[in-house]
């Protein structure tokens, strides 16, 4: 049983992480730290089923003898510092997405993990969704032929959002590009088993979003030829459609990435009947932390090692360069 300590216990921990840990079978939570100590104490009282202790600093949590691994869920700008602290204490780390503020920070994390010889993963939880893995299988087996085009969207409404730091450029990697386009990018890379070679991006800003974008569209050019359109915003109700158009058919769902309810996945080969499948992602967060626990205990490969976080960050960095330059930006191989 792997005992996690959570660094940064905000809305995401309450809505997603703790329900996941409650269903997990190979791990539990024994410690937490958050910037507001009073709120940390309140959080512990909400979860009497967990043997959680509140620590007064990241260092205290990371060196605790009853904590085996660290889940970094703090604001983006703190990821580097918190990952490095955990690695200094030789604790395996699962870091929230986006992995860092830029690719250079990701590279520092990966180098530190190599020196410490402990696992470092990135919490790209969609790699543990049944819907995403089914689409990966559909593509890999050629059920709809060679992918030509893809469309992935992620929208949520963020005005007066509980995560008040998400429009603060000193804490957030960016707006919805850094926050949720990273999910779309990673899901597409994982489904296609391919890398993005270039990005062209455009963004919109408003008074509420401040220095970060409120909406954006990214055109991703994959190395094997697929072109994907990723559209994200913090100005619409929650939606996560993902569709793949191939030379032999179409596959996807209008709510492909959600964990909140079962999904109706559609597969339509050209000239054949529509196939529908009911898929549930309700165990995604539990499966993610259990998989990292297995990686720690038995060295079973983890689906989202830190190198995947770096590749995603390189795409995000290129997208932000494109927004500023107005040009198509390439990504290092």
Digits of tens for pLDDT over the chain (333 positions)?
A: 999 999 998 778 878 899 999 999 999 999 999 888 788 788 788 888 888 999 999 999 999 999 999 999 999 999 999 999 999 999 999 999 999 999 999 999 999 999 999 999 999 999 999 999 999 999 999 999 999 999 999 999 987 766 678 889 999 999 999 999 999 999 999 999 999 999 999 999 998 888 999 999 999 999 999 999 999 999 999 999 999 999 999 999 999 999 999 999 999 999 999 999 999 999 999 999 999 999 999 999 999 999 999 999 999 999 999 999 999 999 987
Domain match, 147 and 208 both: yes
Domain match, 183 and 266 both: yes
CATH code, domain carrying 181 = 3.30.360.10
Which domain, by its residues, includes 208?
A: 126-282+313-330
The number of beta carbons lying within 10 Å of the beta carbon of residue 117 is: 8
Domain match, 214 and 319 both: yes
pLDDT of residue 166: 85
Domain match, 73 and 202 both: no
Domain match, 103 and 221 both: no
pLDDT of residue 161: 66
Q: How far is CA 76 from the centre of its chain?
A: 12
For residues 306 and 314, the answer to whether their CB atoms sit within 8 Å is no
Domain match, 84 and 150 both: no
Q: How far is CA 64 from the centre of its chain?
A: 27
Domain match, 293 and 277 both: no
Domain match, 18 and 89 both: yes
Domain match, 98 and 148 both: no
State the total domains in the chain: 2
Domain match, 45 and 146 both: no
Any alpha helices (H) in 35-147, and if so which ranges?
Answer: 37-46, 58-62, 79-88, 103-116, 130-141
CATH code, domain carrying 100 = 3.40.50.720
pLDDT of residue 274: 98
Tell me the helices (H) and strands (E) count for the chain, helix number first: 11, 16
pLDDT of residue 138: 98
Domain match, 87 and 103 both: yes
Q: Residue 62 to residues 5, 113, 114, 308, 322: CA-CA distances in angstroms?
A: 8, 14, 18, 24, 38
Instruction: Pick the closest to residue 10 from 40, 53, 31 (CA basis).
Output: 40
Give the tokens for residue 46.
């909400």
pLDDT of residue 162: 65
The residue count of the chain comes to 333
**Sole residue written with tokens 């995401």:** 12
For residues 94 and 86, the answer to whether their CB atoms sit within 8 Å is no
Q: Is the dihedral of CA 121, 125, 129, 134 positive or negative?
A: negative
Domain match, 215 and 232 both: yes
């Amino acid at each position: 049983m792997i005992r996690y300590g959570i660094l940064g216990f905000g809305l995401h921990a309450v809505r997603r992480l703790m329900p996941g840990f409650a269903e997990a079978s190979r791990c539990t939570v024994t410690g937490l730290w958050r910037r507001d100590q009073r709120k940390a104490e309140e959080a512990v009282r909400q979860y009497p089923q967990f043997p959680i202790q509140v620590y007064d600093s990241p260092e205290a949590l990371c060196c605790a003898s009853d904590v085996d691994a660290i889940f970094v869920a703090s604001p983006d700008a703190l990821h580097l510092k918190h990952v490095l602290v955990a690695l200094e204490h030789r604790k395996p780390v699962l870091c929230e997405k986006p992995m860092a503020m830029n690719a250079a920070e990701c590279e520092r994390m990966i180098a530190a993990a190599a020196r410490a010889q402990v696992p470092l993963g990135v919490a790209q939880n969609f790699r543990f969704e049944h819907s995403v893995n089914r689409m990966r299988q559909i593509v890999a087996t050629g059920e709809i032929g060679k992918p030509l085009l893809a469309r992935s969207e992620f929208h949520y409404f963020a005005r007066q959002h509980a995560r008040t730091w998400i429009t603060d450029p000193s804490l957030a990697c960016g707006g919805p590009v850094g926050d949720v386009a990273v999910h779309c990018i990673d899901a597409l890379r994982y489904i296609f088993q391919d890398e993005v070679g270039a990005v062209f991006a455009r963004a919109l800003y408003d008074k509420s979003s401040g220095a970060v974008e409120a909406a954006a569209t990214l055109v991703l050019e994959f190395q094997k030829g697929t072109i994907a359109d990723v559209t994200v915003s913090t100005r619409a109700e929650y939606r996560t459609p993902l569709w793949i158009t191939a030379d032999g058919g179409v596959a996807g769902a209008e709510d492909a990435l959600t964990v909140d309810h079962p999904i109706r996945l559609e597969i339509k080969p050209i000239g054949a009947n529509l196939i529908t499948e009911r898929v549930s992602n309700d165990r995604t967060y539990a499966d993610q932390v259990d998989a990292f626990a297995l990686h720690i205990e038995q060295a079973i490969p983890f689906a989202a090692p830190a190198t995947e976080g770096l590749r995603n960050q390189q795409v995000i960095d290129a997208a932000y360069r494109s927004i500023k330059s107005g040009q198509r930006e390439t990504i290092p191989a």
